[in-house]
Amino acid sequence: MTEIASTVANAPARAGLSAAGSAAVVRLAAPWIALTVAFAILPAIFTSGSALTVLSLMGIMIVFALSYNMLLGETGLLSFGHAVYYGLGGFLAVHAMNTVIHDRLPVPLPVIPMVGGFSGLLFGIIFGSVSTRRAGTVFAMISLGLGELVASSSLILRGFFGGEEGVSTNRTKLLHIFGLNFGPQIEVYYLIAGWCVLSMMAMYALTRTPFGRMCNAVRENPERAQFVGYNPRVVRFIAFSLAGLFAGIAGGLAAVNFELVNSAEVGAAQSGLVLLAAYIGGIGSFIGPVIGAVLVTWLEVMLSDVTDVWQLYFGLLFIGMVMFAPNGIAGLLMMHAPLWQARAYGSMLRLALAYLVALAPALVLLAGIILTIEMTYRLSVKAFAGTTMFVFRLALDAASPMPWVAAAMLIAGGFWLFRMTWPLVGAAWHDAFTLARATGRTR
């Protein structure tokens, strides 16, 4: 997906333009400047205390998810154990912080994520030398096994992993620079935002290198990559190590943010979370994991307030995306890129209208599913709380048949109506693209 957009952006010298030149530099730097500005003013827009916490979490998750996509999206390596490098980065960072505090070393806090990065790189190299011998399904299983190995070791190596409680620290006790002690969340947010922008730039730059291009080639056709002179194992190994580096930075940021690291950070749940985030956002583009990280963090925070079984909804969302939108949210947006390029605004509007029409019954269907799930939960595990409950601010009794009948009707009716709208959407899509093709801008 990135390839089409990026190769058009980097048009060859054929047209007589050189790749350097002030216009190109501005075009290159503009998105990053905009991003930095956006990160800087976000706290001014979302002013509540919890918003700052969520924004900080998003920043960490963005770096983590982007590092994961270096493996999956760029190089085609599906890992179920990426949290190892995140967690180990966090542990080393927190130990470093404690050492700095204990020995009064002149090391300021902003440098600490680098320790995480170094740790991630080191373990990426060590474990990568074994993991990247195979690719595909076997690599996935290896990553799972290694992840379990490290997570289980946490109970044995209690000194390093701190046992069940983990290892804690105090980020305000490091060397203060510019009068900042990083106690307030706003200061931590800017630290995270800064590292996030730097990491994003670095990871994006990596995709624009010979190595980055060959990662894509190895993903597409490892055999052909061999026949143009590259050893796919080496490419994968380097990708793995660098992905570990950035995961470690994310882990270091988490250590600074929470002032606590425990063995859950290297565990399967954390590995699964970053996989979900990257995939839901879209592994086929650079921006996908960013979208996914933001969305998943927001859902995690918001949904857990609304319902106890938010993780079930998460899983269902994930399965839904795997089945119907395997290119993620970014992929869904990119599908419309040709329309945008052809400036077919009228068609896009009509398409959006068709989407809205299809959305209504889809929401009805969704309501029915949510109702069913919440009532099932209420009747089984949460039975102690009684059978009256509130769903969408409406009171109902889960033990009576009425809500169940209603749920069944919502699901059946919603699904039936939803299906009826598919031809409508299909026709709008077809019209839009025919028009776009006719104007000659797409192929």
Partner 1 sequence: MTAPAVELIDVRKNFGATQIIRDVSLTVPTGERHAIIGPNGAGKSTLFNLISGRLTPTSGVVQLNGENVTGLPPHLINRRGLSRSFQATNIFPRLSVWENIRCAVLWSLGYKYAFWRGIDGLADVRERTEAILTAVGLIDCYHVQAGVLTYAEQRALELGITIAGDAGIVLLDEPTAGMSVAEAAHAVALIRKVTEGRTLIMIEHDMGVVFDLADRISVLEYGQVIASDVPARIKEDSAVQSAYLGTAA
Partner 2 sequence: MLELVTISTLNGVLYGMLLFLMASGLTLIFSMMGVLNFAHASFYMLGAFFGFQISQIVGFWPAFVVAPVLVGGIGMLVERYGLRYVHRHGPVAELLFTFGLAFVIEEAVQMIWGKGPADYRVPAALDFSAFTVFSTNYPAYKMFELITAVAIFAALFAVLTRTRVGLIIQASLTHSHMVAMLGHNVPRVFMLVFGVGTGLAAVAGVIAGPALVTQSNMAAALGPILFVVVVVGGLGSLGGAFLASLLIGLVQTFAVSVNLSVADVLGGIGVAPPASGILFDLWNVTVAQIAPIIPYLLLVLILIFRPTGLMGMREH
CA neighbor of 227 nearest in space, from 239, 216, 236, 218: 218
Q: Does 29 contact partner 2 by CB under 8 A?
A: no
Amino acid at 383: A
326 binds, among partner 1, partner 2, none (CB under 5 to 8 A by kind): partner 2
In the list 16, 106, 159, 440, the residue contacting partner 2 (rule: CB under 8 A) is 159
Q: How far is the CB of 162 from partner 1 (least distance, A)?
A: 35
HSE of 399 in the Cβ direction (CA atoms, 13 Å)? 7
Helix, strand or coil, per DSSP, at residue 108? strand
* Residue 103, token pair as written in the block: 């020995």
Query: What does 242 interact with, of partner 1, partner 2, none (CB < 5 to 8 A by kind)?
Result: partner 1
Locate 246 and state its tokens: 């950035």
Region 184-223 residues binding partner 2, contact defined as CB under 8 A: none
**How far is it, in rounded angstroms, from Cα 269 to Cα 118?**
23
Contact between 88 and 120 (Cβ < 8 Å): yes
Positions that interact with partner 1 (CB under 8 A): 1, 3-4, 7-8, 10, 12-14, 19-20, 205-206, 208-214, 216-217, 220-221, 223-231, 234-235, 238, 242, 443
Binding partner of residue 13 among partner 2, partner 1, none, CB cut-off 5 to 8 Å per kind = partner 1
Q: Report the half-sphere exposure of 229 (CA within 13 A, side-chain side).
A: 2
Half-sphere exposure of 63 (CA within 13 A, CB side): 34
**305 Cβ contact list (under 8 Å, min separation 6):** none
Q: Does 385 bind partner 2 (CB under 8 A)?
A: no
Question: Is residue 152 a contact residue for partner 2 (CB under 8 A)?
Answer: yes
> Measured from the CB of residue 368, what is the shortest distance to partner 2 in angstroms?
17
Residue 216 interacting partner from partner 1, partner 2, none (CB closer than 5 to 8 Å by kind): partner 1
Residue 141 contacts which entry, partner 1, partner 2, none (Cβ below 5-8 A, type-dependent): partner 2
Using DSSP, state whether 439 is helix, strand or coil: coil
CB nearer partner 1, residue 28 or residue 302: 28
Span interacting with partner 2, options 48-56, 105-113, 321-329, 349-357, rule CB under 8 A: 321-329
User: Residue 127, Cα to own-chain centre: how many angstroms?
Assistant: 23
- DSSP line for 140-199: HHHHHHHHHHHHHHTTT-HHHH-TTT-EE--GGGSB-BTTB---SHHHHHHHHHHHHHHH
Residues from 323 through 382 that contact partner 2 (CB under 8 A): 323, 326, 373, 376-377, 380-381
Q: Which is nearer to partner 1, 94 or 243 (CB)?
A: 243
How far apart CA 14 and CA 186 sit, in angstroms, is: 49
Which one of the spans 100-108, 236-244, 305-313, 411-419 is the region binding partner 2 (CB under 8 A)?
305-313
Site residues, partner 2 (CB under 8 A): 72, 76, 78, 80, 130-131, 133-138, 140-142, 144-149, 152-153, 155-160, 268, 272, 275, 279, 309, 311-312, 314-316, 318-319, 322-323, 326, 373, 376-377, 380-381
